[in-house]
């Protein structure tokens, strides 16, 4: 396959040759791609890699996002989901209350609960264990993909246990995978500036390393589009790539487009479509040891997600039912999507929809 527009740029030609010969891209290569405005070449190169890894298959899952509590001790600058205890709108649900919520929205096709929430210091670690236990007992067939690495670090602090012991307790309660959140940008400078007063870079990576050592396969993210530099983004990807070399424990990488705090914020306060597509494509090119890159329709919209499936993405996420965190921060997208619409979206990009479970085992291929 030839690139769409033949390029005379020597560095782009060099990168094309490296990708086609399976050679790893460097920090300098990644920064160059971000600085280039040749989206078609970058996108088609990423498409080649995605086709090489997964053929025309694009994966999705029937899942539900659940949030046990929005009370949080952290005050991250980009978050509009968190509340203080006692503040209007603050809540902390018991296991039974969550089961009542799930039963209202549940149908037999749901295969995964995606569980994240605030770092609520007003309840003990046992509360978080019991939350999973209650769900697993009531819905034993549904995979529990629960908590971010930052939440695991928080649980370690409030319980006095190490990461390994925290994860083992949660696994006994039914934990089967970690979510990818809490990564933001893996840069200490960024985290200080954006008041990310939760797990630092080393802690985030160590939680995932420990989870992988215990046999858990996990997800990971990057929240881009605020104060970070293009070099920060590439360094972030390289740190994840290095951990993946070490453990092979990551299932998928999810670039998350930063949302403005105000839902009425105009176009200039959001990442451009150009930037979103470029980030997905560059992620595919840099993360040569990841099987999947996800296009997250909650943050970039369903139509841009469709385009992203031809620029390196091989996962269109899932049905979700009711997403809250990005919408609290101003996302203008649907809070969920039906299985039928996901299938239509994937087929519309000339791809083959594949319903999967959490671990990318194929449930049904929609030829």
- Whole-number Å distance between alpha carbons of 262 and 268: 12
- The first and second tokens of residue 164, run together, are 């390994």
Contacts (Cβ under 8 Å, ≥6 apart) of 263: 327, 330, 331, 332
Q: Which residues contribute to the annotated binding site for [4Fe-4S] cluster? A: 72, 76, 79
At 181 the three-state DSSP class reads coil
Strand order in the sheet with 63-66: 63-66, 112-115, 143-146, 175-178, 217-224, 250-257, 292-293
Question: Beta 315-318 vs 57-61: how paired, if at all?
Answer: parallel
Question: At which residue do the structure tokens 């560059």 appear?
Answer: 282
Give the β-pairing of 362-365 and 352-356: antiparallel
Q: Are 252 and 292 in contact (CB under 8 A)?
A: yes
Q: Under DSSP, is residue 147 helix (H, G, I), strand (E, B) or coil?
A: coil
Residue ranges of the binding site for S-adenosyl-L-methionine = 78, 184, 195
Map residue 317 onto helix, strand or coil. strand
If we measure between CA atoms, which residue out of 326, 248, 284 comes closest to residue 49?
284
Question: What span, in angstroms and rounded, lies between the C-alpha atoms of 58 and 40?
Answer: 20
Annotated binding site: 72, 76, 78-79, 184, 195
pLDDT by 10s per residue, the chain, length 367: 555 567 778 999 999 999 999 999 999 999 999 999 999 999 999 999 999 999 999 999 999 999 999 999 988 888 888 899 989 999 999 999 999 999 998 888 899 999 999 999 999 999 999 999 999 999 999 999 999 999 999 999 999 999 999 999 999 999 999 999 999 999 999 999 998 889 999 999 999 999 999 999 999 999 999 999 999 999 999 999 999 999 999 999 999 998 766 666 666 677 999 999 999 999 999 999 999 999 998 889 889 999 999 999 999 988 766 555 555 555 555 656 888 888 999 999 999 999 999 999 999 999 8
pLDDT for the residue 40:
95
Closest CA to 343 of 353, 351, 334, 358: 353
């Amino acid at each position: 396959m030839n690139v769409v527009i033949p390029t005379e740029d020597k560095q782009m030609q060099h990168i094309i040759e490296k990708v086609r010969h399976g050679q790893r891209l460097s920090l300098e290569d990644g920064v160059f791609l971000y600085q280039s405005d040749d989206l078609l070449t970058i996108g088609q190169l990423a498409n080649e890699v995605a086709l090489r890894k997964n053929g025309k298959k694009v994966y999705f899952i029937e899942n539900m996002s659940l949030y046990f509590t929005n009370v949080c001790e952290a005050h991250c600058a980009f978050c509009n989901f968190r509340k203080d205890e006692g503040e209007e709108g603050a809540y902390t649900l018991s296991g039974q209350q969550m089961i009542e919520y799930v039963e209202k929205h549940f149908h037999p096709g749901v295969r995964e609960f995606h569980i994240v929430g605030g770092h609520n210091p007003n309840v003990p670690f046992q509360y978080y264990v019991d939350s999973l236990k209650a769900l697993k007992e009531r819905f034993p067939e549904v995979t529990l993909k629960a908590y971010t690495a930052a939440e695991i670090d928080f649980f370690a602090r409030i319980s006095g246990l190490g990461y390994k012991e925290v994860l083992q307790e949660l696994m006994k309660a039914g934990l089967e995978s970690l979510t990818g959140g809490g990564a933001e940008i893996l840069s200490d400078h960024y985290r200080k500036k954006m008041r990310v007063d939760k797990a630092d870079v080393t802690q985030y990576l160590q939680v995932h390393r420990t989870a992988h050592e215990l046999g858990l396969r996990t997800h990971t993210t990057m929240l881009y589009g605020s104060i970070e530099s293009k070099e920060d983004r590439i360094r972030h990807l390289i740190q994840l790539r290095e951990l993946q070399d070490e453990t092979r424990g990551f299932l998928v990488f999810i670039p998350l487009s930063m949302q403005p705090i105000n839902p009425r914020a105009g176009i200039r306060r959001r990442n451009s479509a150009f930037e979103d597509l470029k980030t997905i494509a560059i992620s595919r090119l840099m993360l040569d040891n990841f099987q999947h890159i996800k296009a997250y329709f909650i943050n970039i919209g369903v139509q841009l997600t469709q385009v992203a499936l031809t620029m390196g993405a091989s996962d269109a996420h899932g049905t979700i039912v009711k997403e809250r965190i990005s919408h609290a921060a101003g996302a203008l997208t649907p809070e969920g999507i039906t299985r039928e619409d996901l299938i239509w979206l994937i087929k519309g990009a000339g791809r083959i929809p594949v319903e999967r479970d959490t671990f990318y085992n194929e449930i049904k291929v929609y030829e």
